[in-house]
């Protein structure tokens, strides 16, 4: 049996306690002979800054480069509000994305039937929701140069960020979206702001050409990103796959997350290009939620997004489709059974902490295997 190497980067806040639940699932897989995982752990974010003065060390980056997959918790917190910009906790995550070439960020927004009432939208709008946001992750305004604050010398300063996309960057992310759509409901909606941005004009053209050239069997629609945000809260079930740039994807995926009831439910996968020789992709899996410093260390955090991120890892890095399906079914199952962490608690349900939720998911996974 192949041994898969996982690098665990818990980071800060609830990243630490939620990744612990993934470790228990990994242990369970190892003990039951389902798969063989070797794990290594390192620091990222504020935790790395406190120890090393940087948001991630070169040594940890080297481990990430060599791992079969990186499992990432969360970074940041008020403790590091005043650290220099270059070494702020988020810089660790951005370096991982950039240096590993993780250009494709898959953010599924699935509304579990048991949680349809936890959404701020009406049940009928969100029940059964299943959309996939494909966010470009290594380009655009996050990384474009110049990126600086300059002194104009007249008592004024100027803050500059640069939104920039080259053809190949748009082509490859569009390709990922079209491929995914073929495995789902075969529809892609591309979002940009071509009415005010040159990068939006190019985005629209390249997506259209890529579609015509290689994916004309998929249904393609274009939407301005602001209208897309509006449609996401008006009638979210109209979407199947949404493809968009780094910044719009950041915002739209938070909106989509709330449709599902809680930010604590959403997993994500960040993938690189397949290696020309081995076909393997570099990959990092992380929950969409942040470090939640207000509840960190109290055993209250919802581990579902973290565990669902591991399910995505099984699916996209190791082709363990049956196990991924079963882990996702186990999550849906414990929700059906009425277990809730505090963030998704509602009347008549049973409130549990992080570990009990993790235990219940493992137990459900086992019972589904039988």
End-to-end CA separation in angstroms for the chain? 22
Q: Cβ of residue 90: shortest distance to ligand IPM, in angstroms?
A: 4
Question: Which residue, 169 or 250, is less far from ligand IPM as judged by CB?
Answer: 250
The number of residues that bind ligand IPM (CB under 6 A) is 3
**Which residue, among 347, 340, 292, 309, has the nearest Cα to 110 in the 3D structure?**
309
From the list 68, 245, 250, 343, the catalytic residue is 250
Question: Which residue, 136 or 250, is less far from Mg ion as judged by CB?
Answer: 250
d(CA 13, CA 36): 28
Binding to ligand IPM by CB under 6 A, coded x per residue (else -) over 200-239, reads ----------------------------------------
Q: Cβ of residue 351: shortest distance to ligand IPM, in angstroms?
A: 27
Interface with Mg ion includes 250 (CB under 5 A)?
yes
Interface with ligand IPM includes 12 (CB under 6 A)?
no
Interface with ligand IPM includes 90 (CB under 6 A)?
yes
90, interface contact from Mg ion, ligand IPM, none, CB < 5-8 Å by kind: ligand IPM
**Scanning residues 163 to 202, which ones bind ligand IPM (CB under 6 A)?**
none
From the list 165, 193, 240, 245, the catalytic residue is 193
H or E stretch covering 131: strand 130-136
Does residue 226 have an active-site annotation?
yes
d(CA 88, CA 240): 35
Question: Which residue, 73 or 333, is less far from Mg ion as judged by CB?
Answer: 73
Interface with ligand IPM includes 127 (CB under 6 A)?
no
Long-range contacts of 110-116 (CB under 8 A, 24+ apart): 110/260, 110/265, 111/259, 111/260, 111/261, 112/260, 112/261, 112/265, 112/331, 112/332, 112/335, 113/332, 113/336, 114/332, 114/335, 114/336, 114/338, 115/260, 115/261, 115/262, 115/265, 115/335, 115/344, 116/261
Contact criterion met (CB below 8 Å) for 152 and 261:
no
Q: Cβ of residue 254: shortest distance to Mg ion, in angstroms?
A: 5
Q: Cβ of residue 268: shortest distance to ligand IPM, in angstroms?
A: 7
Residue 242 tokens, joined: 């949404």
**Scanning residues 245 to 274, which ones bind ligand IPM (CB under 6 A)?**
250
Question: Which residue, 90 or 99, is less far from ligand IPM as judged by CB?
Answer: 90
Which residue's C-beta sits nearest to ligand IPM? 90
H or E stretch covering 3: strand 3-11
Long-range contacts of 80-86 (CB under 8 A, 24+ apart): 80/45, 80/46, 80/49, 83/46, 83/49
From the list 117, 254, 325, 359, the catalytic residue is 254
Does residue 254 have an active-site annotation?
yes
343, interface contact from ligand IPM, Mg ion, none, CB < 5-8 Å by kind: none
d(CA 217, CA 282): 28
From the list 226, 275, 294, 337, the catalytic residue is 226
Question: Which residue, 70 or 93, is less far from ligand IPM as judged by CB?
Answer: 93
Question: Which residue, 137 or 352, is less far from ligand IPM as judged by CB?
Answer: 137
Q: Cβ of residue 29: shortest distance to Mg ion, in angstroms?
A: 30
Among 8, 26, 44, 93, binds ligand IPM (CB under 6 A): 93
Q: Give residues with Cβ within 8 angstroms of 115, minimum separation 6.
A: 260, 261, 262, 265, 335, 344
Contact criterion met (CB below 8 Å) for 193 and 225:
yes
- With tokens 């998929």, the residue in question is 218
Cis peptide before 96 (omega within 30 of 0): no
Q: Given the rule CB under 6 A, which residues bind ligand IPM?
A: 90, 93, 250
Kindly list the catalytic residues: 142, 193, 226, 250, 254
Q: Given the rule CB under 5 A, which residues bind Mg ion?
A: 250
């Amino acid at each position: 049996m192949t041994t898969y190497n996982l690098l665990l980067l818990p980071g800060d806040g609830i990243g630490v306690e939620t990744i612990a639940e993934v470790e228990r699932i990994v242990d369970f897989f190892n003990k039951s002979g389902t798969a063989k995982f070797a794990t290594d752990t390192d620091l990222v974010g504020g935790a790395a800054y406190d120890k090393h003065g940087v948001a991630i060390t070169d040594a940890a980056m080297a481990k990430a480069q060599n791992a079969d997959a990186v499992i990432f918790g969360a970074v940041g917190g008020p403790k590091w509000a005043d650290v220099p910009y270059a070494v702020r906790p988020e810089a660790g995550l951005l370096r991982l994305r950039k240096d590993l070439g993780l250009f494709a960020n898959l953010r599924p927004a699935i509304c579990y039937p048991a949680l349809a009432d936890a959404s701020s939208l009406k049940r009928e709008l969100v029940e059964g929701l299943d959309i996939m946001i494909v966010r470009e992750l290594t380009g655009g305004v996050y990384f474009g140069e110049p990126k600086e604050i300059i002194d104009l010398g007249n008592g004024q300063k100027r803050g500059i960020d640069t939104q920039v996309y080259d053809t190949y960057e748009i082509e490859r992310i569009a390709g990922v979206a079209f491929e995914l759509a073929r495995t789902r409901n075969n529809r892609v909606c591309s979002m940009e702001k071509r009415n005010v941005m040159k990068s939006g004009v190019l985005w629209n053209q390249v997506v259209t050409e890529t579609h015509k050239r290689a994916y004309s069997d998929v249904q393609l629609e274009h939407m301005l990103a602001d209208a897309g945000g509006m449609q996401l809260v008006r009638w979210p079930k109209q979407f199947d796959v949404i493809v968009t740039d780094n910044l719009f994807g950041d915002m739209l995926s938070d909106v989509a997350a709330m449709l599902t009831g809680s930010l604590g439910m959403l997993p994500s996968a960040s993938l690189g290009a397949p290696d020309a020789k081995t076909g393997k992709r570099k990959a990092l899996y992380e929950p969409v939620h942040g470090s939640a410093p207000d509840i960190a260390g109290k055993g209250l955090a919802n581990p579902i997004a973290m565990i669902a991120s591991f399910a995505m890892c099984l699916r996209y890095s190791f082709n363990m489709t049956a196990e991924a399906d079963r882990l996702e079914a186990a999550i849906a199952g414990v929700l059906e059974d009425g277990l809730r962490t505090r963030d998704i608690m509602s009347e008549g349900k049973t409130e549990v902490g992080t570990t009990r939720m993790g235990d219940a998911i493992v137990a459900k996974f086992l019972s589904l295997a039988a």
